[in-house]
Amino acid sequence: MSSRPNQHAMLALALVLAATAAHAQGGQQAPPSSKAVVMKGKAPVNDKVLEVKLPRPKEGDLANGIHLIVLEDHRAPQVTFQLLIPGAGGYFDAPGSVGLASATAAMMREGTATRSTTQISEQLETMSSNVNVGTGMTSLDATVSGSALTENLDKLFDLASDILLHPTFPDEELAKYKTRTKTGLNQNRSFPGFLVQELFQRVMYGDDPASRLLMTPEQLDRVSRAAMVEFHKAKYVPDHAAIAFAGDISYDRAKQLVESKLGAWKKSGAAMVAAKDPPAIGPAKVWLVDRPSSVQTNFIVGTQAIERTNPDYNVLEVMNSVVGGGPTGRLFIHLREEKGYTYGAYSGLSAGRYRGTWSAQTDVRSDVTEPALKDLLGELVAIRDTTVPAKELQDRKRSLVAGFALSLESPQQVLNYYVTSWIYKLPADYWDKYPQRVMGVTAAQVQSAARKYLDPSRMQIVAVGDRKKVEEILRKFGKLEVYDTEGKKVIGVVP
Amino acid sequence: MASQFTHRFGAVAAIAALVVVAVAATPPRAASHPSAASRDITFSDTRLKNGLRVIIAEDHHAPVYSIAVSYNVGSRNERRGRTGFAHLFEHMMFKGSENVGPGEHFMLIFNNGGNMNGTTNKDRTLYFESLPTNQLDLGLYLEADRMRSLVINKENLDNQRNAVQEERRLAVDNNPYGHTYEAIDSLAYDNFSYQHSVIGSMADLSAASVEDVQAFFRTYYAPNNAVIAITGDVKTADCLAKVKKYFESIPRQPDPEPVDMAEKPRTAERRLMMDDPLARLTRVDIAYNVPPSSDADDAALQVLATVLGSGRSSRFYEAVVHQAQLASGVFANKQETRGPGLFQVSSTLNPGKTTAELEKVIYAEIEKVKAAPPADWEVEKARATVKRGAVAALQSSLQRAAVMSQDALFYNEPGRINTAVSRFAAVTPADVQRVARKYLNAENRSVIITTPKAAAGRGGN
């Protein structure tokens, strides 16, 4: 599971249960209008979508407020668990203490009252196990997760509870953590994929907490041991937490394990905290990070979209699948298979507890920057202006639904559906009815969603490339702002 | 890192990782783990009349099956002037065959809820798909049709040449240290087969002709040069009958020439300094020449890599990152290779530190292992990793298929998956010390220092 539940949007894309609405697929299927894909229709396809029944986990509430979710599956002798702690995520860091939540999470495994960081590493790695405490800069939650062979589960959970309840945040380890983290933060600025994502987040959300990607070295410097101790005490509380187990474990055994190791973790009375609406997105512009010596231009083109519980979610999922949700999407077919501009071109919907984004992403060689961007934007026009052909729509919906069978190989993946249900308070039969909802999406709904959400006047073009090669080209697509690789504005209109 | 190139995205990341990790399911060493004891993977192993080797491992945990086809060709088979060919060819395998249109292969797999990809490394080219169990015919038909009758024309070739050149820019030319990865192989190997990169050079990719591609297909994509493994929710007899129906009429071809992989023994350290305009920090790469993965020393070398460089309890991490704070990370690994291998160490220097300090600490840790065998718990780390891998293989039919087809090809041992745990259980601390002494010596290593070139890529610095 992601430590950024707002990424869970992508989850439903890969999976999902097959059921009733099995439409015959027939021999030939209308491909996207491109000679790059030709369906000869001779391969033997079983027209039925395989019906599978998603196993249900057992759930209950413990005395200290923890919600327990267990998906029992004895196929392999291993157990994974994930504890979610709402309110302990980086999203809630105050502007003056950005990075505190991330640093606290990372430092919890750097020493406890009875174990040094080195002892923790030795004990975990001797079992080939892991305990990860983490949160994203835009996450609402912190997570503590781990996995082990069944024979090591007691030892693993003992360690995890020690890390959760008794971290000491040693000063010496904090100094070392800062040194190595700064090297990584510096290193990130050499990667175009990081630079384009960083600027995209800023363009989407301005100064809102949702805009954060990583802390700066200066923010990291401000994090103190005292602040982490205080943060841990106030935020790592069980009041609104959930813990989910998957694998070789029963509900009763999991309950006994949690009660014995986390029974001393007492409710604090803290209120549940919620995300707020991010500011509305500004008018369409073009944004460039000047990265000298680049031989490619990296693009993210996108805008704000919806939160996960928005009723349009399934419609947008289908729309996204048509435009660019994988190698069968139009972006991949046209930009790669037909034109050969790129190794990949995809789109994604990111929907969490605040208004997320829809975006398209590709990396193209510098000398095709202009035609590639034109083609990418052309797909946004097409999905707004033209009804998706019936066969193409049917295929995309079918791929969303039929993929559910594959997820049954992994109890962890099945559990993720139910964790998503818990996070977003989805109806109990949400996943049972998912196939019907997806198969029920119409071409008219897709088009009206595209018109509503893919608004050209709000569509932002973010690029990373060599300014010398691409500045004049990008100016053709709108007002341009230019940044350096440190994130400082070099040139541009005043926002 | 850049030693494996792939057709697309998605599942391949997982599979690439799985295939290099040793994997097994075998009787446990103690009687207290009955759960793993009965879980040897059973399979059938058949050779069709045309030479195609067919491995079927049936289980019914989930309504899913997977296919992996390993072709006995990788970049090691390439000649000078035609580098990048095996991988470019892999892309051509999605551009259509007699009965399957261009792109139809992946459209049909994804439209029916499946997952698929192709991936090429120095030693083999692997194609794979997972599908719901009611689509068994579909997967077999698609793999057979392209093995029989790939359509090779200029338009397809030009199109995929562009995609591959873009893949090269993405993975190598536009990335910090991209050229370092290539330089390691060209410095550490003398034999051309492993010396050049899988992705190939831009000039060679541009030079590839339709005739080259056709000849390559005839030689290497023959049934007698491939292993197909089918795992998961199938019935063995029924599945084998279908494999025969779709594949057995594909004609056999003359066996390709074996590849000479021999390397001469080393007599002196090799050293290279590189500038990188896209990098911001100095990086040190050290490669020791070691034997192929089929060698009896291989498991001990893998344990050595774990002791020195796997995880935060490793000796390198403790000495380099935690104590001396010379770098933010340090890694050691020994990848699986059919020919002579490399034991690689890499680390990115913290600002203000020197590569001399870093190398000194790394070599000092190596000398300690040579001087005294590692502790039992350090060896146990490697055993535990193999055990976890074995358990993971129980859940993923795709992982089982990939590993079994590859093990059949590399070791003539499709069931090698079942013996990994015992292979590693047999490695003693003294073995680890012995292989450190034997291979991790100065005259046997190649060192590359990559330094940021100040002019560009560093913004305001």
Contact check, Cβ <8 Å, B63/A52:
yes
Two tokens at A120? 């923790």
Provide the pLDDT confidence category of residue A33 given band limits of 50, 70 and 90: very low
> Does A238 share its domain with A293?
no
Higher pLDDT among residues A329 and B454, named by residue: A329
- Residue A311, classified by CB atoms within 10 Å of its CB into exposed (0-12), middle (13-18) or buried (19+), is exposed
Alpha-helix runs per DSSP H in B310-441: 315-316, 355-371, 376-395, 397-411, 420-425, 429-439
Using the 3D structure, point to which of B214, B247, B280 is the last residue of a domain.
B247
- Sheet with strand B341-349: strands edge to edge: B270-276, B445-452, B283-290, B341-349, B327-334
Provide the pLDDT confidence category of residue B182 given band limits of 50, 70 and 90: very high
Using the 3D structure, point to which of B247, B282, B297 is the last residue of a domain.
B247
> Does B274 share its domain with B237?
no
pLDDT score of B32: 35
Q: Is the dihedral of CA A150, A155, A157, A163 positive or negative?
A: negative
> Does A250 share its domain with A328?
no
Residue B106: is its pLDDT beyond 70? yes
Using the 3D structure, point to which of A196, A227, A262 is the last residue of a domain.
A262
Whether the CB-CB separation of A347 and A317 falls below 8 Å is answered with: no
> Does A226 share its domain with A109?
yes
- The predicted model gives A78-104 an average pLDDT of 97
- Residue B206, classified by CB atoms within 10 Å of its CB into exposed (0-12), middle (13-18) or buried (19+), is exposed
Contact check, Cβ <8 Å, B460/A486:
yes
The nearest CA of chain A is from the CA of B264 a distance in Å of 37
Report the complex ipTM. 0.86
Higher pLDDT among residues A62 and B19, named by residue: A62
> Does B199 share its domain with B310?
no
Whether the CB-CB separation of B131 and B113 falls below 8 Å is answered with: yes
- Please count the structural domains in chain B: 2
Could you tell me if residue B93 is inside a domain?
yes
> Does A312 share its domain with A430?
yes
List CB contacts (< 8 A) between A191 and chain B.
175-176
Distance CA A394, CA A328 (A): 13
Could you tell me if residue A51 is inside a domain?
no
Distance CA A115, CA A476 (A): 60
Could you tell me if residue A15 is inside a domain?
yes
HSE toward the beta carbon, residue B228, CA cutoff 13 A:
29
Tell whether B40 is within 8 A of chain A (Cβ).
no
Distance CA A74, CA B35 (A): 9
Distance CA B325, CA B353 (A): 9
pLDDT tens by residue, A385-436 = 999 999 999 999 999 998 888 999 999 999 999 999 999 999 999 999 999 9
Could you tell me if residue A268 is inside a domain?
no
Whether the CB-CB separation of B312 and A109 falls below 8 Å is answered with: no
- Please count the structural domains in chain A: 2
Nearest to B363 by CA among B445, B281, B429: B445
> Does A35 share its domain with A71?
no
Q: What is the mean pLDDT of chain B?
A: 89
State how beta strands B226-232 and B53-58 pair: parallel
Residue A32: is its pLDDT beyond 60? no
- The predicted model gives A2-29 an average pLDDT of 29
Residue B271: is its pLDDT beyond 60? yes
Whether the CB-CB separation of B272 and B451 falls below 8 Å is answered with: no
List CB contacts (< 8 A) between A126 and chain B.
313, 377, 380-381, 384
Residue B298: is its pLDDT beyond 60? yes
pLDDT tens by residue, A232-288 = 999 999 999 999 999 999 999 999 999 999 999 999 999 999 999 999 999 999 999
**Residue linked to tokens 């990291």:** A220
Could you tell me if residue A272 is inside a domain?
no
* 3 state DSSP class of A120: helix
> Does A371 share its domain with A294?
yes
In chain B, the percentage of residues whose pLDDT exceeds 70 is 90
> Does B97 share its domain with B134?
yes
Contact check, Cβ <8 Å, B325/A39:
no
Whether the CB-CB separation of A255 and A68 falls below 8 Å is answered with: yes
Tell whether A206 is within 8 A of chain B (Cβ).
no
Provide the pLDDT confidence category of residue B10 given band limits of 50, 70 and 90: very low
Distance CA B22, CA B399 (A): 11
Looking up residue A361, the CATH number of its domain turns out to be: 3.30.830.10
> Does A82 share its domain with A230?
yes
> Does A116 share its domain with A253?
yes
Tell whether A344 is within 8 A of chain B (Cβ).
yes
Distance CA A11, CA B56 (A): 31
Provide the pLDDT confidence category of residue A36 given band limits of 50, 70 and 90: confident
* 3 state DSSP class of B48: coil
The nearest CA of chain B is from the CA of A304 a distance in Å of 25
Which region, left, alpha or beta, applies to residue A314 given φ > 0 means left and ψ of -120 to 50 means alpha?
Answer: alpha
Provide the pLDDT confidence category of residue A66 given band limits of 50, 70 and 90: very high
Contact check, Cβ <8 Å, A29/B394:
no
Distance CA B456, CA B461 (A): 10
CB pairs under 8 A between A and B: 275
Q: Most A CBs within 10 Å: which of B21, B93, B395, B399, as the mutation test of the A interface?
A: B395
* Those residues with Cβ within 8 angstroms of residue B404's Cβ, 6 or more apart along the chain or in another chain: B41, B43, B55, B57, B68, B229, B231, B414, B415, B417
> Does B187 share its domain with B52?
yes
The nearest CA of chain B is from the CA of A120 a distance in Å of 9
DSSP 8-state symbol, B73? -
Could you tell me if residue B385 is inside a domain?
no
- List residues bridging with B58 in a β-sheet: B232
List CB contacts (< 8 A) between B161 and chain A.
340
Provide the pLDDT confidence category of residue B172 given band limits of 50, 70 and 90: confident
In B278-294, which positions are buried (b, 16+ CB within 10 angstroms) versus exposed (e)? bbbbbbbbbbbbbbbbe
Of A226-230, A317-321, B330-334, B385-389, which range is least confident?
A: B385-389
Could you tell me if residue A50 is inside a domain?
no
> Does B276 share its domain with B237?
no
Tell whether B391 is within 8 A of chain A (Cβ).
yes
Could you tell me if residue B36 is inside a domain?
yes
Could you tell me if residue A59 is inside a domain?
no
pLDDT score of B5: 60
The nearest CA of chain A is from the CA of B390 a distance in Å of 9
> Does B317 share its domain with B231?
no
Could you tell me if residue A269 is inside a domain?
no
> Does A257 share its domain with A347?
no
> Does B236 share its domain with B279?
no
Distances (CA, A) of B36 to A110, A403, B33, B310: 33, 29, 6, 25
The distance from CA A297 to its chain's CA centroid, rounded to whole angstroms, is: 24
Secondary structure (DSSP) of B151-197: ---HHHHHHHHHHHHHHHIIIIITSTTHHHHHHHHHHH--SHHHHS-
> Does B217 share its domain with B297?
no
> Does B17 share its domain with B110?
yes
Looking up residue B346, the CATH number of its domain turns out to be: 3.30.830.10
Provide the pLDDT confidence category of residue B392 given band limits of 50, 70 and 90: confident
Nearest to A18 by CA among A48, A46, A45: A48
> Does A90 share its domain with A39?
no
Could you tell me if residue A307 is inside a domain?
yes
Distance CA B196, CA A305 (A): 46
Contact check, Cβ <8 Å, B100/A40:
yes
**Residue B181 sits in which domain range?**
5-247
pLDDT score of B454: 64
* 3 state DSSP class of B234: coil
Residue B316: is its pLDDT beyond 80? yes
The nearest CA of chain A is from the CA of B317 a distance in Å of 10
Provide the pLDDT confidence category of residue B30 given band limits of 50, 70 and 90: very low
Contact check, Cβ <8 Å, A328/B110:
yes
> Does A35 share its domain with A69?
no
> Does B242 share its domain with B291?
no
**Residue A412 sits in which domain range?**
5-44+277-492
Using the 3D structure, point to which of B216, B247, B278 is the last residue of a domain.
B247
pLDDT score of B6: 58
Q: What is the mean pLDDT of chain A?
A: 91
Distance CA B94, CA B129 (A): 13
The C-alpha R_g of chain B, in whole angstroms, comes to 23
> Does B161 share its domain with B238?
yes
pLDDT score of B12: 35
Using the 3D structure, point to which of A237, A262, A287 is the last residue of a domain.
A262
- Residue B372, classified by CB atoms within 10 Å of its CB into exposed (0-12), middle (13-18) or buried (19+), is exposed
Residue A19: is its pLDDT beyond 70? no
In chain A, the percentage of residues whose pLDDT exceeds 90 is 86
Residues listed for chain B: 461
> Does A115 share its domain with A246?
yes
Residue A14: is its pLDDT beyond 70? no
Of B196-205, B257-266, B332-341, B451-460, which range is least confident?
A: B451-460
Using the 3D structure, point to which of A217, A234, A262 is the last residue of a domain.
A262
**Residue linked to tokens 């106030």:** A234
Two tokens at A63? 């005395």
> Does B316 share its domain with B192?
no
Distance CA B165, CA B265 (A): 35
Provide the pLDDT confidence category of residue A62 given band limits of 50, 70 and 90: very high
- List residues bridging with A135 in a β-sheet: none
List CB contacts (< 8 A) between B313 and chain A.
118, 121-122, 124-126
